[in-house]
A and B are shown apart, each in its own frame.
Chain A
Amino acid sequence: MQTFLQVLINGTGKGAIFALLALGFVIIFKATEVVNFAHGSLALAGGYVVAVLKPMVGWWSAAAAGITAAAVLALVIERLLLARARNASDTSLAILTIGVDVLVLTEVVRRLGTEASPFLGDPYDVKPLTLGDVTVGRSEVVALAVSVVLITAFFAAFRFSPWGVAMRAQSENREAAALMGIRSSRVTASAWAVGGALAGIAVLFLATQDFSGGGLSQATHGVALAAFPAAIIGGLTSPGGAVLGGFVVGLTEAMTAQYVDLDFAKVAVYLVMLLVLVVRPSGLFGRVVQARV
């Protein structure tokens, strides 16, 4: 029971991070219909800035700079590249982001070199929390708290703020939204920036001893890939689904690692995704798009 609680809390904490990544991924998809394969690279680039600045300006300022860097990078990708390829098909745009991913990933990994991978979770990493007779990683608990705050804030903004209204309007019907005076480019750009910032926050927890047992490296990019199954499980068009998908992924991974096999954990995540897709090809809450003829 004790172990189960421990696994449950750790899994939920991990899930919270996947939820942040998947949420950003889905926001971008909803606003621009681009499947952003460079999402892992956004996280990696943000993390790299944190790692470089941390010894100079301290963790808090470095973290803020890293989050900003990830948001700016996302913005640059959108403004500089995607905005210029509006007429390309969604598959072409997805492949474009794969190209960007290769570039960013290669450069960050090259810069990191072969030295020890930097850990990014200074204030909370490797400081276990004991709650009653359960000991859990502090990173997971902080991640969960941060995610709950951010996700709540996002849904409040999505529901009530002018930005959220514009976002939703645009994802429903781009032309109509434009006619109503919603500036599509501003909505699109802000969606990318938000997605990037969320990835920048997520990496502060990904590259920790608690979370992955490793610092910032190419492997972090692989871990961040789990944002895809999370988003797909929930349905690419559903922010709520992305959050749920994130938790499903986190818990599946933690439970499998504990009760089945450590190495099998990642596979299990993807198998759950396949299972969902076979039953519901658009994910749990995804909109079914029907072609018109």
Chain B
Amino acid sequence: MSGQTTGRTPGRRDVRPLRVSEVTVRFGGLVAVNRVSFTVEPGSIHALIGPNGAGKSTCFNAISGVCRISSGRITLGDVDLGRTPPHRIAALGVGRAFQNLALSPTSTVFDNVMLGRHALTGGGFLGHGLRAPWLRRAARRHADRVAEICDFLGVARYLHTPAGVLPYGDQKRVDIARALAVEPTLLMLDEPAAGMNASETAEMAALIQDVRDELGVSVLFVEHDMGLVMGIADRVTVLDFGRLIADDVPSVVQRAPEVIAAYLGVDDGQGQPAVKTRAGGGFPGTGGGNGDPATSPRPGRDGRAEPDSREAMG
């Protein structure tokens, strides 16, 4: 991955902090995200967690510009993402993989990943229709880079296979390859380990760390698998009902009473049992025994949850 041939910035990238400050998103009368602030430091792996419906995906959508924020500011370096047209955000170095695999099932893996380079390439109908030599040369260069990225993700052998026929885990990888094809400084992954078994989750954890270590980019990810979260995240932001309830290093977050309450559910005064009422994911501390994140990259099934399905706008 180090031999970058066609990136925005050769070698180490100019990675800038992502600042989410006092962001509120409303859908009609519903407040999906309520005055949330956090910062993704350059080169860090940052997890965004919370029970189903906490506003994680809405947060993701706000950062990538597909849903408009009602108030607050989201900046990448000194660029205001809230004022940037959504399709320009990729070109600023934000690559995103999706929760429900938004690949074109009938297009090849190559075509899917190459789409990530849309903003890095040029030429319109006539240029490509007339097969302009400079466009063809550039296309070959970008194709090499796509092959390289797919190789890094371990999906190179599927380059000319329609993405829709691949196993689920490989489709996930293609999706991440596409996000990396953007040559991002901020990589956003929406539930990268959803639907994966223990060994696949471990591989995913290693992959995310590799991406950060080799490219030096920031990684912001939403995940329900607490083993994965606590194992690789440098910092964890916890949302509940659209509000931020914790934002700290994993070891602190795991012990925060608000987080425990959010995950286990608290007595709401209506005679509900005090456990497991609305938790979408496992409680960070449970199932692990030792709370030390550094020694517990446990991609086991204990912290597993169903993919988030209730949140507005996915």
In the complex, A293 Cα to B66 Cα: how many Å? 10
A290 lies within 8 A of chain B by Cβ: yes
Question: A286 CB to closest chain B CB, in angstroms?
Answer: 15
Binds A, one of B4-12, B95-103, B125-133, B257-265: B95-103
In the complex, A290 Cα to B68 Cα: how many Å? 13
- Closest B residue to A292 by CB, please name it: B314
13 contacts between A and B (CB under 8 A): A290-B313, A292-B100, A292-B313, A292-B314, A293-B61, A293-B66, A293-B98, A293-B99, A293-B100, A293-B102, A293-B190, A293-B313, A293-B314
Question: A161 CB to closest chain B CB, in angstroms?
Answer: 29
In the complex, A293 Cα to B61 Cα: how many Å? 8
- Closest A residue to B61 by CB, please name it: A293
In the complex, A293 Cα to B102 Cα: how many Å? 7
Question: B143 CB to closest chain A CB, in angstroms?
Answer: 26
Could you tell me which residues of chain A, from 31 to 81, have a CB within 8 Å of some CB in chain B? Answer: none
Residues of chain A within 8 A of B100, CB atoms compared:
292-293
In the complex, A290 Cα to B61 Cα: how many Å? 12
Question: B152 CB to closest chain A CB, in angstroms?
Answer: 24
Of all A-B residue pairs in the complex, the 5 with the closest CB atoms, nearest first, are A292-B314, A293-B314, A293-B98, A293-B102, A290-B313
Could you tell me which residues of chain A, from 279 to 293, have a CB within 8 Å of some CB in chain B? Answer: 290, 292-293
In the complex, A290 Cα to B66 Cα: how many Å? 10
Question: A186 CB to closest chain B CB, in angstroms?
Answer: 28
Could you tell me which residues of chain A, from 254 to 293, have a CB within 8 Å of some CB in chain B? Answer: 290, 292-293
Residues of chain B within 8 A of A293, CB atoms compared:
61, 66, 98-100, 102, 190, 313-314
Residues of chain B within 8 A of A290, CB atoms compared:
313
- Closest A residue to B66 by CB, please name it: A293
In the complex, A293 Cα to B98 Cα: how many Å? 6
In the complex, A13 Cα to B190 Cα: how many Å? 55
Question: A214 CB to closest chain B CB, in angstroms?
Answer: 44
- Closest B residue to A290 by CB, please name it: B313
Chain B residues with a Cβ closer than 8 Å to the other chain, count: 9
In the complex, A292 Cα to B102 Cα: how many Å? 9
In the complex, A293 Cα to B309 Cα: how many Å? 11
B63-76 CB mask vs A (1 if < 8 Å, else 0) is: 00010000000000
In the complex, A293 Cα to B99 Cα: how many Å? 7
Question: B207 CB to closest chain A CB, in angstroms?
Answer: 21
Residues of chain B within 8 A of A292, CB atoms compared:
100, 313-314
Question: B221 CB to closest chain A CB, in angstroms?
Answer: 15
In the complex, A290 Cα to B99 Cα: how many Å? 16
Residues of chain A within 8 A of B102, CB atoms compared:
293
Question: B55 CB to closest chain A CB, in angstroms?
Answer: 15
- Closest A residue to B99 by CB, please name it: A293
In the complex, A290 Cα to B100 Cα: how many Å? 15
B97-135 CB mask vs A (1 if < 8 Å, else 0) is: 011101000000000000000000000000000000000
In the complex, A292 Cα to B60 Cα: how many Å? 12
Question: B295 CB to closest chain A CB, in angstroms?
Answer: 35
- Closest A residue to B190 by CB, please name it: A293
- Closest B residue to A291 by CB, please name it: B314
B216-256 CB mask vs A (1 if < 8 Å, else 0) is: 00000000000000000000000000000000000000000
B163-182 CB mask vs A (1 if < 8 Å, else 0) is: 00000000000000000000
Question: B61 CB to closest chain A CB, in angstroms?
Answer: 7
In the complex, A292 Cα to B314 Cα: how many Å? 5
In the complex, A28 Cα to B66 Cα: how many Å? 31
Could you tell me which residues of chain B, from 287 to 314, have a CB within 8 Å of some CB in chain A? Answer: 313-314
Question: A280 CB to closest chain B CB, in angstroms?
Answer: 16
In the complex, A36 Cα to B227 Cα: how many Å? 51
- Closest A residue to B96 by CB, please name it: A293
Question: B62 CB to closest chain A CB, in angstroms?
Answer: 12
Question: B272 CB to closest chain A CB, in angstroms?
Answer: 23
Question: B309 CB to closest chain A CB, in angstroms?
Answer: 9
Residues of chain A within 8 A of B99, CB atoms compared:
293
- Closest A residue to B27 by CB, please name it: A290
Residues of chain A within 8 A of B190, CB atoms compared:
293
Question: B190 CB to closest chain A CB, in angstroms?
Answer: 8
In the complex, A292 Cα to B306 Cα: how many Å? 17
In the complex, A28 Cα to B115 Cα: how many Å? 37
Question: B234 CB to closest chain A CB, in angstroms?
Answer: 26
In the complex, A292 Cα to B190 Cα: how many Å? 13
- Closest A residue to B67 by CB, please name it: A290
In the complex, A71 Cα to B263 Cα: how many Å? 54
In the complex, A293 Cα to B64 Cα: how many Å? 11
Residues of chain A within 8 A of B61, CB atoms compared:
293
Question: A49 CB to closest chain B CB, in angstroms?
Answer: 43
In the complex, A12 Cα to B313 Cα: how many Å? 41
In the complex, A194 Cα to B100 Cα: how many Å? 37
Question: B192 CB to closest chain A CB, in angstroms?
Answer: 15
In the complex, A290 Cα to B313 Cα: how many Å? 7
In the complex, A293 Cα to B65 Cα: how many Å? 12
In the complex, A292 Cα to B312 Cα: how many Å? 8
Could you tell me which residues of chain A, from 182 to 206, have a CB within 8 Å of some CB in chain B? Answer: none
In the complex, A187 Cα to B213 Cα: how many Å? 57
Question: B189 CB to closest chain A CB, in angstroms?
Answer: 13
Question: B102 CB to closest chain A CB, in angstroms?
Answer: 6
- Closest A residue to B311 by CB, please name it: A292
In the complex, A223 Cα to B3 Cα: how many Å? 65
In the complex, A293 Cα to B67 Cα: how many Å? 11
Question: B96 CB to closest chain A CB, in angstroms?
Answer: 9
In the complex, A290 Cα to B314 Cα: how many Å? 10
Residues of chain A within 8 A of B98, CB atoms compared:
293
